[in-house]
Amino acid sequence: MWLRDCWYVIAWDHEIPAADSNALFTRIVLGEPILVLRTADGGFAALADRCCHRLAPLSKGRREGDGVRCGYHGMAFDARGRCIEAPGTTTIPEKACVRAYPMAVRNRWVFVWMGDPAKADTALLPDNFSCDHPDWRNRPGYLHYDTPYLLICDNLLDFSHLSYVHASTLGGSTAIAEARPEITRVDGPGMPGIRVVRRVPNVPAPPFYLRMRAFDGPLDRWFDYQFLLPGTLLMHSGGRPAGRPEGDDRDAVRLHSCQTLTPETETTTHYFFQQSHPAGHGDERLTESIFQSLIGAFNEDRDMITAQHRNILLAPDAPMVPIPIDGALVQFRRLLAERLEAERAR
């Protein structure tokens, strides 16, 4: 069901407690509970949040140095998952260890590698540059979905829904749904995926943009994004006064968004996101306004996808009738199926 030889975001860096904190951070990824520790050298360690003795959560224990002591019977583990102390014995069983996961951090996203540790390769990390770049400002966000992650992937791969789900927020015009997207394959150098470009000329400014500035007339809007395996969207978007040539961004809205989906279980998902604006355009009030707009719009998405999932559960064998606007999501699912098959073959 899920790709494993790839990186998944488990947290924003600010979510992980400091190395000298008594707090412990845990999150479920691909059905596996994982404890994340910030180490004294500034790095991160990730351990299975399940003691090898009686399977109690290590997150119910306490932090000791760069490791953790189980709160049930007191076994202590270092940052590599090795048991270094077992109360009541001087002979630690050879199998007394917990799984340690490869970790990586890029631009405030904390990643965990869920597959073969020998294959963990930081060259496969997405370029989420605007999450932490001096030229861009944003407020990071997180939402939890009670839906499978692929339904959210479908939503992000077909922006025609902006015209209807987000009619009073991000959308503002049915022209978005009518604009035909350009869909191409992305084959590296990192994870493969799908690129979608949608140009929407001569439309009113959406309510979302009007929170940033006033416009005297219609805009030419654009959405240009890559959607990479296992589920990361990296998008340039914006709008400039209608009729201006591309590249003439006077009085234009320019945004860069990084969004990524991490399956929690087969029916629940972690959603990490941000939408950045250029650092020289607006202050913290604009940053907060954009964040609040996203929260409102993404809750609209979550309400719709949750209702969709509820319907699917009631009739899991009911067919879905494809239409032309499904092109990007069909290609992405085909790509995912290819990679899953290749991973199984290995």
94 lies in the same domain as 147: no
Burial of 104 (0-12, 13-18, 19+ CB in 10 A): middle
Decide if 110 is inside a domain. Answer: yes
Does residue 127 register a pLDDT over 90?
yes
Q: What is the pLDDT of residue 247?
A: 84
Q: Going by C-beta distance under 8 Å and a sequence separation of 6 or more, which residues neighbour residue 119?
A: 5, 113
Helix/strand/coil percentages in the chain, nearest 5: 25, 35, 40
Q: What is the pLDDT of residues 49-74, one digit of tens each?
A: 999 999 999 999 999 999 999 999 99
Q: The domain that contains 140 carries what CATH number?
A: 3.90.380.10
Q: What is the pLDDT of residue 6?
A: 97
Q: What is the pLDDT of residue 90?
A: 84
Does residue 172 register a pLDDT over 80?
no
3-class DSSP assignment, residue 99: coil
Element (H, E) at 221: strand 219-228
The pLDDT-based confidence of 249 (bands split at 50, 70, 90) is: confident
The pLDDT-based confidence of 14 (bands split at 50, 70, 90) is: very high
257 vs 214 pLDDT, higher one: 257
Does residue 169 register a pLDDT over 90?
no
66 lies in the same domain as 151: no
Element (H, E) at 157: helix 149-157
The pLDDT-based confidence of 207 (bands split at 50, 70, 90) is: confident
Look at residues 123, 146, 165 and tell me which one is the last residue of a structural domain: 123
The pLDDT-based confidence of 303 (bands split at 50, 70, 90) is: very high
310 lies in the same domain as 272: yes
- CA quadruple 152, 156, 158, 163: dihedral, nearest 10: 100
Look at residues 90, 123, 156 and tell me which one is the last residue of a structural domain: 123
The pLDDT-based confidence of 209 (bands split at 50, 70, 90) is: confident
The pLDDT-based confidence of 215 (bands split at 50, 70, 90) is: confident
201 lies in the same domain as 276: yes
215 lies in the same domain as 188: yes
Q: What is the pLDDT of residue 120?
A: 97
Q: What is the pLDDT of residue 154?
A: 96
The pLDDT-based confidence of 128 (bands split at 50, 70, 90) is: very high
75 lies in the same domain as 174: no
Q: What is the pLDDT of residue 147?
A: 98
Domain that holds residue 103: 7-123
141 lies in the same domain as 49: no
* Angle (nearest 5°) at CA 213 between 210 and 216: 85
Q: Say how many C-beta atoms besides its own lie within 10 A of residue 55's C-beta.
A: 9
133 lies in the same domain as 119: no
- Measured over the CA atoms of residue 255, residue 159, residue 343 and residue 312, the dihedral's sign is positive
Look at residues 93, 123, 153 and tell me which one is the last residue of a structural domain: 123
Decide if 99 is inside a domain. Answer: yes
86 lies in the same domain as 197: no
DSSP letter string over 29-42?
ETTEEEEEEE-TTS
Q: What is the pLDDT of residues 72-123, one digit of tens each?
A: 999 999 999 999 999 988 899 989 999 999 999 999 999 999 999 999 999 9
288 lies in the same domain as 327: yes
Does residue 272 register a pLDDT over 80?
yes
Total domains present in the chain: 2
Decide if 214 is inside a domain. Answer: yes
Decide if 1 is inside a domain. Answer: no
Q: Beta strand pairing status for 109-113 and 232-241?
A: unpaired
141 lies in the same domain as 234: yes
Q: The domain that contains 47 carries what CATH number?
A: 2.102.10.10
Does residue 173 register a pLDDT over 90?
no
138 lies in the same domain as 100: no
Decide if 2 is inside a domain. Answer: no
